[in-house]
Amino acid sequence: MFVGFHDRQLDDKGRCALPSAYRPDLGDKCYVSLGDEGCITLRTVPEFEAHAQELIEQERRGEISHSRRRAISVTSALVSIDKQGRFTLEERFRRHAGLESGAPVVVAGTFDAVEIWKPDRFWAVEAEGQDEEPGRQWDD
């Protein structure tokens, strides 16, 4: 389970240090994908493979096209996590999320995945989600 959020910063090489609480579940490799709403999504190898298998089944059932399945596949990558808990975000992923080397990021858990966000985007999306459930806003 990935919960909470953490302020981090990309280093000059585009690497992000994962929160120590997330590292045991992610292991030494994980999948990175272009996420919804302009973020980057990280999934464990088993979680990503289960998601991929479901997409294959959806295509077989005619629920999604092969083009949609391909679009998800080609916008994902297997990355290694080093001994310091860092992984490198390729330029194409950073561009999708509006991230720059040396800039701050928010690393957020979504139960079954981890998202990497540009801080202003994260807080805008977070506010929308909080508005859906009155009485659960963050205190400033």
Distance CA 5, CA 38 (A): 17
Domain that holds residue 64: 5-131
Residue 26 is assigned to a structural domain of this protein: yes
Q: What is the CATH number of the domain that holds 41?
A: 3.40.1550.20
pLDDT score at 132:
76
The packing angle between helices 45-60 and 66-74, to 10°, is 160
pLDDT band at 139 (very low <50, low <70, confident <90, very high): low
Residue 106 is assigned to a structural domain of this protein: yes
Residue 139 is assigned to a structural domain of this protein: no
Residue 140 is assigned to a structural domain of this protein: no
Residue 137 is assigned to a structural domain of this protein: no
* Domains identified in the chain, total number: 1
Distance CA 81, CA 75 (A): 19
Helix runs in the chain, H state only: 23-26, 45-60, 66-74, 91-97, 119-131
> For the whole model, what pTM was predicted?
0.89
pLDDT tens-digit readout, 37-78 = 999 999 999 999 999 999 999 999 999 999 999 999 999 999
